[in-house]
Amino acid sequence: MNKQFTIAQKIGLMFRYDENVPQDMEGWIEQQLRAPSPALGIANTSAKVTQWPDELQPNLSKRAGMWRRYRALKKQQREGKNGQDTEAARQANRHENLMQEKDEHRFVQRNVYGADQVKLRLTSFWANHFTIGNTFDTGQLIGHAIDEGILAKLNGSFADMLYGMTTHPGMLTYLDNVWSAGERSVQAKHCRRKPDCQAGLNDNLGRELLELHTVSVAAGYSEDDIRAAAQVLAGWGIDFGEELSAMREKTGSNNHWNAYKKRWAEPGPKKVMGQTIYAGRSGLRQLTDFLASHDHTINYISTKLCHHFISDSPTKAHIESVKSVWHQSNGDLNTIHTQVLKLAINSPDAKFLWPMTWLFQVVRLSGATYFKGWENTHHYDDKLMHTKKVFEELGQSFWSLRQPDGYPNDKAEWMSAEMFERRVRFADAIYKNGRTRPSVNKIMDRIGAAEQTRALVASVGPSPKDQFITLMCSPELMGLEYV
């Protein structure tokens, strides 16, 4: 593959079939990291690419209102009160009033049609690092966390992203922090006087904050440190379906991303990994800032970035180089990302592509219209699957019920016969149903395909479909080296 497409494959999403290919790739990377990031997509399969409507990208307050109406209708249905069913409640039960499916669809379209492909690849890395699995409420929040907690913060500091994702209602709900109360809190003391009241400390988020989001187990923290981190987090978050009046009473605010219940907070200072963290709302920012600049955090995430973008076996020099700019820039993500990407494009190592990354690249290269437009998200189509079904079949989705440690970066985890067979089936479906644009030969000429790839494609005979499948599932197009 030529230089431009090798770089775009490794750190981006490939150039679309009709996109101009830049000559100065380092300059292109710098431009990409500062590019605007509108949510681009199509209204229907014959429409031009444009921005998603604002009404399909609601803020947290509007999402919460949708969720409350949905719950109200479900309660009415359970209690058999159909006579009290209101038009608002009926509307709340329609798919378009719940955001998970639209968020998934916007994510897909953004990755297929977006001009900010490098930022979108970085967004997927961080969305996997700050995993929010799809539990009862979180499906309506994951898309907002990805868009506003990650993509919108790529040009800021790691400390800001860490604090933002730790306090996002999706994360607080996913790891049960919305129900966590300090053992010496006002709420816990009140509950102990009532036989039917329960309030206790939940350490899920405190544990993941240390183990997965920052310092990692290599830091040698103790169970006492986890408990202390959980105490700092006690009181943060509120049930997403809470009525506004109750939310204001408990938090003094209508802002779900700043929901702090003082009555539930653990009083007094805490000590996490030797650092004293003071009581009150500001204690959490004190903790996340301490963890964001910790040497173990810098080493852990620098290694993870190198593993994801550079090589399955990044060198010590690669990791030390990223750590150095992290220290020098005080955790500025733009500086860190620039260094990682420069190392990636200068490394000769191939990097095997995640299933979702591979799928986006295939669609972009081929010009296929494989995903429905936002106007047709819920319409039946015997050729195009729902986005949720695509992700399920692919075996990778940020909206799945998954473990907090996210998807692996090691290619060995994705190299099974089953996973390869899935790619073959998707390549077949994209060719048959996606209205691909350029021919296989034109694609190979444009990307500068290797002679081994051309020979492999030629070996399957003259069938355009077989040639397309073979090209897209070739080692070169999956990020593997020929042996």
Task: Give the tens place of pLDDT for each residue, 403-413.
Answer: 899 999 989 99
Cross-strand pairs, 236: 260
pLDDT band at 192 (very low <50, low <70, confident <90, very high): confident
- Of 348, 369, 394, which marks where a domain is finished? 348
Residues 87 and 123 in one domain: no
- Give the model's confidence band at 376: pLDDT under 50 very low, under 70 low, under 90 confident, else very high: confident
Question: The tokens of 128 are what?
Answer: 């996997």
Band of the pLDDT at 415, cuts 50, 70, 90? very high
> In this structure, are 313 and 407 located in the same domain?
no
Count of domains for the chain: 3
Q: What is the mean pLDDT of residues 163-185?
A: 96
313 lies in the same domain as 383: no
Residue 290 belongs to a domain: yes
User: Closest Cα to residue 314, out of 356, 344, 354?
Assistant: 344
Based on the fold, state whether residues 187 and 336 are members of the same structural domain: yes
Residues 164 and 208 in one domain: yes
Mean pLDDT, the chain, as a whole number?
Answer: 93
Alpha carbon 454 to its chain centroid, in Å, reads 35
How many Cβ atoms sit within 10 Å of the Cβ of residue 133?
18
* pLDDT classification of 94: cutoffs 50, 70, 90: low
pLDDT number for residue 95:
52
| DSSP-assigned beta bridge partners for residue 277 | 270
CA 95, CA 110: separation in Å to the nearest integer?
21
106 found inside a domain: no
Query: Is the pLDDT at 92 greater than 70, yes or no?
Result: no
Q: Tell whether the model's pLDDT for residue 245 goes beyond 60.
A: yes
The answer to whether residue 107 is domain-embedded is no
Q: Are residues 178 and 200 in the same domain?
A: yes
* Side chain identity at residue 266, one-letter code: E
Domain boundary among 348, 374, 389: 348
Task: Report the pLDDT averaged over residues 211-229.
Answer: 98
Range of the domain at 249: 157-348
> Does residue 219 sit in the same domain as residue 344?
yes
| Residues 169-205 as b or e (16 or more Cβ within 10 Å = b) | bbbbbbbebbebbbeebbbbeebeeeeeeebebbbbb
Predicted local confidence at residue 90, as pLDDT: 59
Q: Evaluate whether 99 touches 59 at the Cβ level (below 8 Å).
A: no
Residue (of 460, 138, 205) closest to 468 by Cα position: 460
- pLDDT at residue 113, rounded to an integer: 97
214 and 292 Cβ atoms separated by less than 8 Å: yes
Instruction: Mark which of 348, 380, 403 sits at the end of a domain.
Output: 348
pLDDT range class, residue 79, cuts 50, 70, 90: confident
Of 273, 261, 263, give the one whose Cα is nearest residue 236. 261
Residues 358 and 477 placed together within one structural domain of the fold = yes
Domain annotation covers residue 146: no
Collect all residues with Cβ–Cβ distance below 8 Å to 196 and sequence separation of at least 6.
none
Q: Is residue 103 part of a domain?
A: no
- The reply to whether 343 and 357 lie within a common domain is no
pLDDT for residue 85 = 54
3-state helix/strand/coil string of the chain? CCHHHHHHHHHCCCCCCCCCCCCCHHHHHHHHHCCCCCCEECCCCCCCCEECCHHHCCCHHHHHHHHHHHHHHHHHHHHCCHHHCCHHHHHHCCHHHCCHHHHHHHHHHHHHHCCCHHHHHHHHHHHHHCCCCCCCCHHHCHHHHHHHHHHHHCCCEHHHHHHHHHHCHHHHHHCCHHHECCCCCHHHHHHHCCCCCCCECCCHHHHHHHHHHCCCHHHCCCHHHHHHHHHHHCCECCCCCCCHHHHHHHHCCCCHHHCECHHHCCCCCEEECCEEECCCCHHHHHHHHHHHCCHHHHHHHHHHHHHHHCCCCCCHHHHHHHHHHHHHHCCEHHHHHHHHHHHHHHCCCCCCCCHHHHHHHHHHHHCCCCCCCHHHCCCCCCCCCCHHHHHHHHCCCCCCCCCCCCCCCCHHHHCCHHHHHHHHHHHHHHHHHCCCCCCHHHHHHHHCCCHHHHHHHHCCCCCHHHHHHHHHCCHHHHCCCCC
Query: 286 and 393 share a domain?
Result: no
Is residue 145 situated within a structural domain?
Answer: no
Q: Are residues 25 and 81 in the same domain?
A: no
Nearest alpha carbon to residue 175 among 388, 408, 402:
402
Inside any domain, residue 46 = yes
Please give the biggest Cα pair distance in the chain: 79
Mean pLDDT on 111-136 = 96
Looking at residue 198, what is its pLDDT?
A: 77
Say yes or no: 16 and 67 in one domain.
no
Cβ atoms of 179 and 186 closer than 8 Å: no
pLDDT digits (tens, 9 = 90+) for 264-320: 999 999 999 999 999 999 999 999 999 999 999 999 999 999 999 999 999 999 999
- What confidence score (pLDDT) does residue 197 get? 80
For strands 270-272 and 275-277, give the pairing. Answer: antiparallel
Hey, what amino acid is at 285?
R
**Residue tagged 């990755």 (tokens):** 111
Query: Is residue 411, in this structure, part of any structural domain at all?
Result: yes
